[in-house]
Amino acid sequence: MITRQRLAAGACALLAALTAGIALPAGAVADEPTGSAAPQVDLVLDVSGSMRARDIDGQTRMAAAKQAFNEVLDATPEEVQLGIRTLGANYRGDDRKTGCKDTEQLYPVGPLDRTEAKTAVATLSPTGWTPIGPALLKAADDLDGGEGSRRIVLISDGEDTCAPLDPCEVAREIAAKGIGLTIDTLGLVPNTKLRQQLSCIAEATGGTYTSVEHTDELTDKVNQLVDRAADPVVTPVAVEGADACAEAPEVKSGLYTDREEFGQHRWYRVDVPAGSELRASVSVAADRQVDRDYGVSLRAVTTKGREIVRGETTGTGRTDVMSAGLRYPKAESDDDSDDGEATTEVVCLQVANSFSAASGVKTTPGLPLELTVDVVDGPGASSDVASFGLGRGWWLLGALVLTGFLAGVLWGWVSRLRIAVWRTN
């Protein structure tokens, strides 16, 4: 006699078999590569005696740094391998030779144990010298090896005290090794000499310098730099923009670097085929002191000078980078043409900035400029319509619908059998 238990067991077995059979193609997706090597970040923190100063939001610089570090550790992406190195944390004496060796790895670069890293940070107390140069050399060794992006984030409130080992020369030496390591610097004191030194260190490796005077600014900036390390590593191509569209160099999809003087316009040309979409963005870095009001714009213009679309952004106060972007879909057909068909269009990209130099600041070389160009299938492409934005996951949706349908039919059949058995009993 058929019992309820046997019916339920049979239904579950059949449903499991159906689900397993449909899910078999997923193995092909699971075996695909999941990404590149893990990005690495080494946070280098100044723990010299001057970090006792109480001038950041009513607390000491050290307390502000600890608070920021704890929040950064909580927000660090899982794929990022993070380490912490200190400088000036252990030696309290007056011997310069000993003080200039005072740098150690507080937490090794690797998979992050947040609790362990926070415990290590909690033990720090402002102590000694400021050996920035030696700390950078050791930090470069901390990040030695691996194929992912590598970034040093230096936080300091004072100039290096271990000359003649100039930290700026150390940064140039690291850059000359060609190991793809970027050094970003953050200054906790609005001091001209400190700014010049930290700016020089950052510029040598293509990094950024930022002056921070509040705890939330420090947290936000370090978080931003750690997140940036997780971005795919792309080698930019150097290009020299022209002063007019007619002489502009041709650029294709990719990442480009250039220099733009204060208030200058730079032009580039890109071919946009019919049915495709141009996506472009530009970032201009203020790698030196600039006046408080500024802006950056990116315009797409026809070869005849007609503006197609523009993106722009403005700001005021201190900044290290300003960005703008635009999108331009090129139609499959052109109503203005005789045959109604559109061909490849030459689009001129104009980059402009309204930065101005503060008194005594050098205006050359120009400000670092980074241009990203991408020409992709337009929104009307057949692949977009067919997949409804699901891409390779389309088959999975169909499989789930089919599974649900079969499960419903099966459950109805089981229910009818259960009623029949109940009536017979």
Rounded to an integer, what distance in angstroms lies between the CA atom of residue 196 and that of residue 179?
24
Quote the pLDDT of residue 342: 62
Same-domain pairing of 241 and 192 = no
Report residue 15's pLDDT band, with 50, 70 and 90 as the boundaries: very low
What is the amino acid identity at position 178?
A: G
Confirm whether 31 is domain-assigned.
no
Same-domain pairing of 252 and 371 = yes
Confirm whether 414 is domain-assigned.
no
Same-domain pairing of 190 and 206 = yes
Rounded to an integer, what distance in angstroms lies between the CA atom of residue 185 and that of residue 196?
11
Rounded to an integer, what distance in angstroms lies between the CA atom of residue 107 and that of residue 69?
12
Same-domain pairing of 268 and 212 = no
Confirm whether 26 is domain-assigned.
no
Rounded to an integer, what distance in angstroms lies between the CA atom of residue 116 and that of residue 94?
32
Pick from 46-50, 285-289, 387-391: least confident: 387-391
The CATH number of residue 46's host domain is 3.40.50.410
Give, rounded to a whole angstrom, the gap between the first and last alpha carbons of the chain. Answer: 10
Q: Give the domain range for residue 187.
A: 40-229
Residue 364's contacts (CB-CB under 8 Å, 6 or more residues apart) are 261
**Peptide bond just before 164 cis, omega within 30 deg:** yes
Same-domain pairing of 213 and 310 = no
Q: Does 256 or 6 have the greater pLDDT score?
A: 256
Report residue 130's pLDDT band, with 50, 70 and 90 as the boundaries: very high
Overall average pLDDT of the 14-30 stretch: 38
Contact 283, 300 (CB under 8 A): no
The CATH number of residue 294's host domain is 2.60.120.380
Structure tokens belonging to residue 424: 């017979």
Residue from 183, 181, 182, 211 nearest 196 by CA:
211
Confirm whether 250 is domain-assigned.
yes
Same-domain pairing of 199 and 266 = no
Integer-rounded Cα radius of gyration of the chain:
29
Same-domain pairing of 72 and 168 = yes
Among residues 203, 229, 255, the one where a domain terminates is 229
pLDDT in tens, 258-279: 999 998 999 999 999 998 999 9
Confirm whether 400 is domain-assigned.
no
Report residue 34's pLDDT band, with 50, 70 and 90 as the boundaries: very low
Please give the model's pTM, rounded to 2 decimal places. 0.54
Same-domain pairing of 213 and 322 = no
Quote the pLDDT of residue 314: 87
Contact 324, 297 (CB under 8 A): yes
Q: ∠ CA 346-351-355 to the nearest 5 degrees?
A: 170
Find residue 282's DSSP bridge partners: 324, 371
Confirm whether 332 is domain-assigned.
yes
Overall average pLDDT of the 12-39 stretch: 43
Rounded to an integer, what distance in angstroms lies between the CA atom of residue 66 and that of residue 85?
13
Report residue 343's pLDDT band, with 50, 70 and 90 as the boundaries: confident
pLDDT in tens, 88-107: 999 989 898 899 999 999 99
Same-domain pairing of 277 and 207 = no
Confirm whether 409 is domain-assigned.
no
Among residues 346, 364, 382, the one where a domain terminates is 382
Is the pLDDT confidence value at 405 over 80? no
Overall average pLDDT of the 178-195 stretch: 85
Mean pLDDT of the chain: 81
Q: What's the structural domain count of the chain?
A: 2
Confirm whether 181 is domain-assigned.
yes
Among residues 212, 229, 246, the one where a domain terminates is 229
Same-domain pairing of 214 and 333 = no
Contact 349, 299 (CB under 8 A): yes
Same-domain pairing of 214 and 325 = no
Same-domain pairing of 76 and 221 = yes
Report residue 205's pLDDT band, with 50, 70 and 90 as the boundaries: confident
pLDDT in tens, 148-176: 788 999 999 989 988 788 898 899 888 87
